[in-house]
Amino acid sequence: MISKVLFRVEGGAEMNLAVSADESLLDAARKAGLAIDAPCSGNGTCGKCRVKVIGGKVESGNRRFISPDDYADGWRLACASRTESDVTVLVPATAGAYKNRIKVTELQTGRDKAAFEHLRGELRDMGYLGSVSGHQGSGIEFLSLDMGQASADDPLADRERLVRGIEEKLCSRTARAIDLSLHALRKLPQILRESSFACTCVIREETGGGYRVLDIFPAGEAPVLAGLAIDIGTTTVAAVLMDIQTGEVLAAGSGGNDQIRYGADVINRIIESTRPGGLERLRKAISQDSIIPLVQSLSDSAGVPLEQIYRVAIAANTTMTHLFLGVYPDNLRLEPYVPAFFQAGRLRCVDSGLDVHPDAELLLAPAVGSYVGGDISAGVFSSMIFKKKTYSLFIDLGTNGELVFGNDEFLMSCACSAGPAFEGGDISCGMRATEGAVEACRIDEATMEPVLTVIGNGKPSGLCGSGLIDMIGELFRCSIINARGKIVREGKRIHRDEYGMGSYTIAQNLWITEGDIDNFIRAKGAIFSAIRTMLIMLDFSVEAIEDVYIAGGIGSGINVEGAIRIGMLPKLPSERYHYIGNTSLYGAYAMAVSCGAAGRIAEIAHGLTYLELSAHTSYMDEFIAACFLPHTNGALFA
């Protein structure tokens, strides 16, 4: 049977299409190109794909995430609903919350600006930025030439004239091959004649030796030499456009990873990639639907044309780099967990469909293993822990949790499946750290009333990672939940559904359930037990850690005391903790502006020892012990 479905998007468009009886409303919405998040990939386990049937009849098997009142009102899970007649469906505006909402920031203020300034200082000190040789710096520079008019006596072709001019100008450097990109060759005849055979070239020192003329401008023009750094997170894509010579940030922004439609975590994405056409669908979702519009926004915002982006550096976890390049990732989740590549080698942006300068290099931060990716090697670089004599612990709280411990003599890494809780996934009230997200909270112990800090100061629409940590810390501090995460007080903010599942109401239409708390406890347990296991393996005590660097997109900061109180982070003086933001993006930034930094990141990846936690039986015991608030061994946090 074929039914007609009219999707009415809250505050937006309407869409009509024909749907057969065996298609779910979620499948139908996807066919219509309508964004409805389904982090669980349509398995009915995340509760995110709620829609309201306002006309006609659907059959819907799963009521788990729908209260009886809401059910009576017509709310259903799109993934679990099939049409029994022509229907009209209201899609709430929040249904596409994960969808690519690109936000461009000017970096005029705030933490990110400070972080980039700090990094620029570090790069300058290391000789990776500024007027240093190409091998250390960007390797891309201007060269001004005045070659003299072509004439019957000197009828050399334009290209050969340019090459002769460059050779003369660079005579102090070793004589090496000079070549032109087709982009520059196409501009050459007119620019030479417009400006009396004088011009400004953009030349790049080549790894194989010699120089490549990437671009050419009329004499006197000083265009921006732009580079682009991208962090592809499982949930969020962040990018920054910079001046490749000075390191100045020209525009920064972020958006969702559109692959979220096919699953919230890497495992669901990998499974999707094994379906017919799945790999290409995922490649397009990240490349065409997520990265390209974001890059276009940055280009527009900074007023820098795409063709003036001469290098792109990307840092991402191993699955994301595979999917971005269209390389089959299934072996990442099959024993013996072997990726298709650690290093992607010398690629051009055009190979991956990125439409910037046609000869722009594409650099990917090298991975250490299947579960410790380029985001970590880039992150370790920008944390600078590899330069310290003292011991540091680096924690990247993303969809997976990755840890690196060590100093300037050794670095050991491991990864644990924390799940997407810290980025708002697998949590019914979770969301990314964008406008409307609760990023901090305080609960009155007596009244159980919360005071929320919301990004953008508007109406709260969900909890981001830091808000979630705070919320659970407060619920625990106020004895609203017990050590197992069960709600043990009653009151007007406490509700229980027909199965007895409790929830705490944060605000109107926003609540946290025992299921959410359970998911969070497993996430924090995975992190803490990984830290413990690694330290025990290395025979280090917790106190040996001089600094803990926390990276990732969990929000504008983390309440360290709260995180220690619930047993997520080891008990150390809070001044040893530092939230250092999106280190994956910062590392990609360093690669874009400096060949030296890119080389250093490759060395870091090569030198990182990988510890496979699952190979150690003690890890499971540690994990189970950590799945309490704060821990079965309370002395660790006393």
* Residues binding a copy of itself (CB under 8 A): 150-152, 155-160, 177, 179-180, 182, 185-186, 188-190, 193, 206-210, 325-328, 330-331, 335-347, 350-352, 358, 367, 369
- As measured in angstroms, the least distance from the Cβ of 334 to a copy of itself is 9
Q: Is the CB of 275 or the CB of 387 nearer to a copy of itself? A: 275
Amino acid, single-letter form, for residue 73: D
Q: Is the CB of 38 or the CB of 312 nearer to a copy of itself? A: 312
Distance CA 592, CA 404 (A): 23
For the chain, how many residues are written?
638
- As measured in angstroms, the least distance from the Cβ of 178 to a copy of itself is 9
CA-to-CA separations, 508 to 52, 61, 65, 504, 553, in angstroms, rounded: 18, 27, 16, 11, 26
Amino acid, single-letter form, for residue 523: A
Tokens of 585: 């993006």
Residues whose CB is less than 8 angstroms from the CB of residue 555 and which lie 6 or more positions away in sequence, other chains included: 433, 437, 439, 455, 464, 465, 466, 467
Q: Is the CB of 19 or the CB of 188 nearer to a copy of itself? A: 188
Distance CA 497, CA 449 (A): 21
Q: Is the CB of 130 or the CB of 326 nearer to a copy of itself? A: 326
Is 379:590 a contact under the CB 8 Å cutoff?
A: no
Residues whose CB is less than 8 angstroms from the CB of residue 171 and which lie 6 or more positions away in sequence, other chains included: none
- As measured in angstroms, the least distance from the Cβ of 490 to a copy of itself is 51
Residues whose CB is less than 8 angstroms from the CB of residue 133 and which lie 6 or more positions away in sequence, other chains included: none
- As measured in angstroms, the least distance from the Cβ of 406 to a copy of itself is 21
Q: Is the CB of 332 or the CB of 512 nearer to a copy of itself? A: 332
CA-to-CA separations, 26 to 55, 62, 318, 609, in angstroms, rounded: 17, 14, 29, 43
- As measured in angstroms, the least distance from the Cβ of 226 to a copy of itself is 21
- As measured in angstroms, the least distance from the Cβ of 533 to a copy of itself is 18
For 361, phi then psi, to 5°, come to: -75, 150
- As measured in angstroms, the least distance from the Cβ of 118 to a copy of itself is 33
Distance CA 465, CA 469 (A): 6
Q: Is the CB of 347 or the CB of 501 nearer to a copy of itself? A: 347
- As measured in angstroms, the least distance from the Cβ of 485 to a copy of itself is 35
For tokens 């022509």, the residue is 86
- As measured in angstroms, the least distance from the Cβ of 271 to a copy of itself is 16
From the list 223, 265, 275, the residue with the least C-alpha distance to 245 is 223
- As measured in angstroms, the least distance from the Cβ of 321 to a copy of itself is 11
Burial 46-81 (b: 16+ CB within 10 A, else e): bbbbbbbbeebebebeebebbeeeeeeebbbbbbbb
Q: Is the CB of 156 or the CB of 544 nearer to a copy of itself? A: 156
Counts of helices then strands in the chain (DSSP H, E):
16, 30
Q: Is the CB of 164 or the CB of 489 nearer to a copy of itself? A: 164
- As measured in angstroms, the least distance from the Cβ of 376 to a copy of itself is 15
Q: What's the distance, CA 166 to chain centroid?
A: 41
Tokens of 327: 């390389």
Q: Is the CB of 22 or the CB of 160 nearer to a copy of itself? A: 160
DSSP β-ladder status, 450-454 and 50-55:
unpaired
CA atoms within 13 A on the CB side of 67: 13
Q: Is the CB of 208 or the CB of 500 nearer to a copy of itself? A: 208
Q: Is the CB of 347 or the CB of 572 nearer to a copy of itself? A: 347
Q: Is the CB of 309 or the CB of 506 nearer to a copy of itself? A: 309
* Peptide bond preceding 293 in cis form (omega within 30 of 0): no
- As measured in angstroms, the least distance from the Cβ of 123 to a copy of itself is 26
- Direct distance between the N- and C-terminal alpha carbons of the chain, in angstroms, rounded to an integer: 63
- As measured in angstroms, the least distance from the Cβ of 164 to a copy of itself is 12
- As measured in angstroms, the least distance from the Cβ of 217 to a copy of itself is 16
Burial 288-327 (b: 16+ CB within 10 A, else e): ebbbbebbebbbebbebebbbbbbbbbbbbbbbbbbbbbe
Residues whose CB is less than 8 angstroms from the CB of residue 298 and which lie 6 or more positions away in sequence, other chains included: 104, 228, 239, 240, 241, 250, 251, 252, 253
CA-to-CA separations, 342 to 108, 338, 596, 615, in angstroms, rounded: 36, 9, 19, 21
- As measured in angstroms, the least distance from the Cβ of 47 to a copy of itself is 35
Q: Is the CB of 53 or the CB of 180 nearer to a copy of itself? A: 180
Q: Is the CB of 79 or the CB of 199 nearer to a copy of itself? A: 199
Q: Is the CB of 187 or the CB of 388 nearer to a copy of itself? A: 187
For 356, phi then psi, to 5°, come to: -105, -145
From the list 505, 41, 461, the residue with the least C-alpha distance to 263 is 41
